[in-house]
Structure 1
């Protein structure tokens, strides 16, 4: 065992959990993407997303439990807590928005919802890759590269939301405006939460570079 291995904690449980959490977030985003592109059997599709959200909660809870039990951690405790929370938030917004769509009685999706769901899915794929890179931190710049891409995708989502709101207020159906505005904003908020994950990952990369 080298000096670095002796000094740096070798407990990899947190990296295992983060990778599971990132995979679960991506699975939720994939199901969201499928839902808005094939808007049938909505109740069942939303139920599947809810199950994924519960799975994500369980993983996040396990991270917090391990943090309470572990005296020396491979990352700063605050970094571990922030990352677990940020990942969980993405999944919460994915689930919350789909439940909202079902609860509001939305009968069909549109191009703007599909584009926002696509950007969420692309963002979670970038998260998956970046999270795996922090296990060894061999190339912090590679982590930063994925974080920059997540930020770019979030900026695109901002533009989509602006167009969506503009289009909404060119109509006169107040109830539809309220419903769709909530859905568009929450889909965009999911990309904001992806950006929060990227910010935590970027901070970790900088500290370990």
Structure 2
């Protein structure tokens, strides 16, 4: 076996391994958040329940993608960028999916029937954050369009700030107007899961900004 053949054995097929997996994970989060927006805007309980089941299945798909990335990390000697960044980015995208599923699961289990403006707005912000995350991830494979990645990261940060404001306003309204303690707890947990999903988008954006700096 030639020296070149030995070297090629250790070099990963980057664009055939890591980047497609990043893109699949990010797209999965977009699909989940799209379905979530559809669910909270539906007036049909049976339709909502079916949509929540779809979100569950997609969250499992996201876990499989995450597991595959970690397997590839163990198999490949050379990676497209720092292993810690690959792990952090993958984990953050997986967390976005986890919190989307967590919010949907609570809505379903708690039998929420009043999807107020706060819930709808937070779901829309999760979708916006996920969409910008996917856009940025798709540009990572060659790092030629650094401006596009940076712009998406800025928009993700803006979405997270908006989600913080909506969350604070939503919780304030709960304490001001909700007299049923159990109902208050249910809604607060749902608000928190949705807001945290936008936090995870921001965490992923922070990792990508770190990658940009390291590869400038």
| Short-chain TM bin | over 0.9
Query: SS at 1:138's partner residue?
Result: coil
C-alpha separation in 1, matches of 2:68 and 2:208: 20
| Aligned partners of 1:154 and 1:195 also within 8 Å | yes
Q: CA deviation at 1:108?
A: 2.2
Deviations 1:120-164 (A, max 9, x none): 101111011100111000022321111010000000000001110
| Aligned partners of 2:132 and 2:156 also within 8 Å | yes
C-alpha separation in 2, matches of 1:34 and 1:196: 25
Size of the alignment, in residue pairs? 203
Superposed structure 1 runs of 4+ greater than 4 Å apart: none
Q: Which blocks of at least 5 consecutive residues in structure 2 are unaligned? A: 1-7
C-alpha separation in 2, matches of 1:74 and 1:189: 29
Q: Give the equivalent residue in structure 1 for 2:197.
A: 190
Match of 2:187 among 180, 185, 199: 180
Report the TM-score, using the length of structure 1 for normalisation.
0.93
RMSD: 1.4
Match of 1:11 among 14, 28, 42: 14
Q: How does 1:11-160 map to 2 (within 5 A)?
A: 11-12=14-15, 13-40=17-44, 41=46, 42-160=48-166
Report the TM-score, using the length of structure 2 for normalisation.
0.90
Query: SS at 1:86's partner residue?
Result: helix
